Amino acid sequence: MNPLSADIQIPFPSDHEAEIAYGSLSVDKEPKRGGVSKTMTFSHNVLNVHFQAQEARMLRVSINSFFEHLKLVVETMERFGPPR
Amino acid sequence: MVIAIGFEGSANKLGVGIVKDGVVLSNPRHTYITPPGQGFLPKDTAKHHRDHALDVLQAALEEAKIKPDEIDVICYTKGPGMGAPLVSTALVARTVAQLWKKPIIAVNHCIGHIEMGRLITGAVNPTVLYVSGGNTQVIAYSEKRYRIFGETIDIAVGNCLDRFARVLKLSNDPSPGYNIEQLAKKGKRFLEMPYVVKGMDVSFSGLLSYIEEKAPLLLETNEYTPEDLCFSLQETVFAMLIEITERAMAHCGSQEVLIVGGVGCNKRLQDMMDIMVKERGATLYATDERFCIDNGAMIAQAGWEMFKTGLVTPLQETTCTQRYRTDEVEVTWRD
């Protein structure tokens, strides 16, 4: 057993935006069958995501899906957030 | 005065609606339409929702002439539905709830249909026939729950119609069911098909297999036309639905029937239901495609009712779930 892992750091323009992204993205749990675990934290303006998986394919699927969701959240903030 | 905004994305429709104390201010929708012969798959549908959610949201705000700070509560569909499309829509709802600092409420999709139907038609305590691509249920309200009296034991009636439309390679624009309805009007020759009512429940999968298997030869030999088959299929499945609705009415002593869900805008279904309802001296309530078909306003309306009784969903609990039965929700807003 040597689980694969990946760490991603996403910097945001402000602490508040990192917190909102965390709030939106940390709610959904990974599908049970995939064997991937995802843990999320944020500190100041950086969102940290840690992935662990048994299979490279599942790790890739999980990271892809995370980026699709992240893109949507970022676009939502850009279009509907308060003007900076 | 309470203004609610609702996000719906449980199937192939992405809708955002704004409701202010029972008045629908805006309700734009964008539908993912697949080529003839193809259904919609979760991954592609989720992408459709991600691509259109923000434009539809903006259209909803502009049409309603509402600014984000005027909104009191954000409502989103928790389930039932397809997982990936539900999550994509919920992500936008969660993000704007935080940006605008508004409470958020998780809404059961089926409850959304029922509450929208009640709002639009004014039906007070109807027996509800909820028929769509993913659900087929006969529902009546009792003791703080919408109780399921009868339902499909396999596929939904709309799924049966949609999949038959694929056999005929009918267009999915505006919807396969609409195109079946138009062809059925010209049908003349009735083909007898399996009629499967089991007590209060119905079954459509055997019927679908039967017609999927028979259709190619019947059409090839010109024994039946596509119109005849659409007509025969509609007559058979709608008769089954009306039988179980009538039984539920008799059981509850109900004098009102409300039809909701995407299949509910089928005029032939409404006409057949009206005949049965008139014979019983009762009243039929139905709505048109703006409110029958999945939309954002129905989620806003159900959320509005929930919010007024003091319900809110903590952000960390705003999950989505593919299975979420109508009778799991405690109806706090009705006596």
* Inter-residue contact B179 to B170 (CB < 8 Å): yes
> Does B173 appear as a known binding residue?
no
Spell out which residues of chain A touch residue B50, defining contact as CB-CB under 8 Å: 68, 71-72
List pLDDT tens digits, range B13-68: 999 999 999 999 999 999 999 999 999 999 999 999 999 999 999 999 999 999 99
Spell out which residues of chain B touch residue A25, defining contact as CB-CB under 8 Å: 91
Chain B CB within 8 Å of residue A82 CB: yes
Residue of B nearest to A74 (CA): B95
DSSP SS3 for B278: helix
Chain B CB within 8 Å of residue A23 CB: yes
Which helix (H) or strand (E) segment is B233 a member of?
A: helix B226-252
Q: What is the rounded distance in angstroms from the CA atom of residue B263 to the CA atom of residue B202?
A: 16
Interchain pair B100, A20: CB under 8 A:
no
Chain B CB within 8 Å of residue A76 CB: yes
**Helix (DSSP H) and strand (DSSP E) numbers for chain B:** 10, 13
pLDDT of amino acid A84: 59
DSSP string, A25-64: HSSSPPPGGGTEEEEEEEETTEEEEEEEESSHHHHHHHHH
Peptide bond into A3 cis (omega under 30): no
List pLDDT tens digits, range B118-132: 999 999 999 999 999
Spell out which residues of chain A touch residue B319, defining contact as CB-CB under 8 Å: 27-29
pLDDT band of residue A2 (cuts 50, 70, 90) is low
Rounded to an integer, the average pLDDT of B287-296 is 96
pLDDT band of residue A31 (cuts 50, 70, 90) is confident
pLDDT of amino acid A82: 77
Q: What is the rounded distance in angstroms from the CA atom of residue B109 to the CA atom of residue B324?
A: 9
Q: What is the rounded distance in angstroms from the CA atom of residue B198 to the CA atom of residue B153?
A: 9
Percent of chain B whose predicted confidence (pLDDT) is above 70:
100
pLDDT of amino acid A32: 84
Interchain pair B96, A20: CB under 8 A:
no
To the nearest whole number, what is the mean pLDDT of chain B? 97
* Inter-residue contact B5 to B296 (CB < 8 Å): yes
Where would I find the H helices in B107-204? Answer: 109-121, 157-167, 176-184
DSSP SS3 for B254: coil
Q: What is the rounded distance in angstroms from the CA atom of residue B73 to the CA atom of residue B70?
A: 9
List pLDDT tens digits, range B300-309: 999 999 999 9
Could you state, in order of their start, the residue ranges of all structural domains in chain A?
A: 4-80
Residue with tokens 């012969």: B37
Cβ partners under 8 Å of residue A48, min gap 6 = A7, A8, A9, A10, A40, A41, A42
pLDDT of amino acid B291: 96
Chain A CB within 8 Å of residue B100 CB: yes
pLDDT of amino acid A3: 86
Architecture of domain A4-80 in this structure: 2-Layer Sandwich (3.30)
Residue of A nearest to B98 (CA): A20
Rounded to an integer, the average pLDDT of B206-210 is 98
List pLDDT tens digits, range A36-65: 999 999 999 999 999 999 999 999 999 999
B319: nearest CB among A24, A27, A68: A27
pLDDT of amino acid A83: 63
What is the DSSP-derived secondary structure letter of residue B167?
H
Interchain pair A80, B315: CB under 8 A:
no
List pLDDT tens digits, range B97-110: 999 999 999 999 99
> Does B107 appear as a known binding residue?
no
Interchain pair B88, A72: CB under 8 A:
yes
> Does B130 appear as a known binding residue?
yes
B316: nearest CB among A27, A72, A75: A27
> Does B131 appear as a known binding residue?
yes
- Look up the ipTM and state it: 0.96
CA distance to partner chain A, nearest, from residue B24 (Å): 22
